[in-house]
Amino acid sequence: MASDRLGSIVAFVRVAELGGFSAAGRDLSVSPSAISKSVARLEERLHLRLFHRTTRSLTMTEEGKLFFERCSAILKDLDQAEEDMRARAARPSGILRIEMPTALGRLKIVPALGQLTSIYPELRIAATFADTLTDPIAAGLDAVVRIGEPRDERLMVKRVGTVCYVVCAAPSYLAAHGEPTSVDGLRNHNCVRRVSHYGPEFAPWRFTQPETGEPFERQVEGTLSVDSPDAMIDIGLSGAGLVQLHTYMAEPHIRSGALVEVLGAFAADGPPISVLFASSKNLAPKVRAFIDFVTTIL
């Protein structure tokens, strides 16, 4: 058996290093007779005598010396391999393959990824983007970021944030059409609708009642409808109408003044943002580091 073969080699090397079966037995916590039998089996397998034995001395044969040099080097390599793996288990390293929604990844996660590789210089990140559901196991991904309630029971889920919805418009639009002061007032405005690929033709806008915190939805009307988050942002920036965006899409433009938030009291929480990864008793440090990092930036 492979384990017996390796055990015999370890016993032989320890006998050669320590000069006797008794010393090797103490070092390996087995009896001297067990060490002697293990070395004898090794000699029988090799058809070589590795030691000259007398009642008073134990010396290596010429073949034993050559075999000792080879085996000693191999065992040192094994020790180093184990040490390298322990170090790898303690510190994020290697290639981290991740996937994330296009807009969330581009606007919120990707700009900060350099901080993660600065903290862990041995880490390499390969990021892809998709707004459709990908099977991370089949795709060979270490982790995926998802917006919405995860439904794959094979995967572990770590919630890292929540999407919020805000209504905003360019200053030029508000200067021309005024600012709505209530959700009902949206009927007097040109609202950019999102084309839905699930359910109704157009996705409703989502709000929260300021007094009760109760969520509610409202269908809006407008001349433009798109199914692309980037297009929605571009339309809002152009001054063509009111848009409802995820906070991570709107925040950079609100900070710059290119967009102005309206109906802030009615802003609503949306679906969760989660990191999904294959179930594992020993989570790879690179995946754990990514989860912790994403939690801090979302």
User: How confident is the model over 25-45, as pLDDT tens digits?
Assistant: 899 999 989 999 999 999 999
Q: Which fold has domain 94-158+275-297?
A: D-Maltodextrin-Binding Protein; domain 2 (3.40.190)
Residue 87 confidence (pLDDT):
63
Is domain 2-90 given the CATH code 1.10.10.10 in the classification?
A: yes
pLDDT at residue 2 greater than cutoff 60:
no
Is domain 162-271 given the CATH code 3.10.129.10 in the classification?
A: no
205 and 234 Cβ atoms separated by less than 8 Å = no
Task: Check if 2-90 and 94-158+275-297 are the same fold.
Answer: no
Output the pTM of the full model. 0.62
> Model confidence at 115, in pLDDT bands (50, 70, 90)?
very high
Q: Where are the domains of the chain?
A: 2-90, 94-158+275-297, 162-271
Higher pLDDT, 55 or 252: 252
- Tracing tokens 């409802």 back to the chain, one arrives at 244
Measured distance CA(252)–CA(261) in Å, rounded: 12
Strands 94-100 and 143-147: parallel
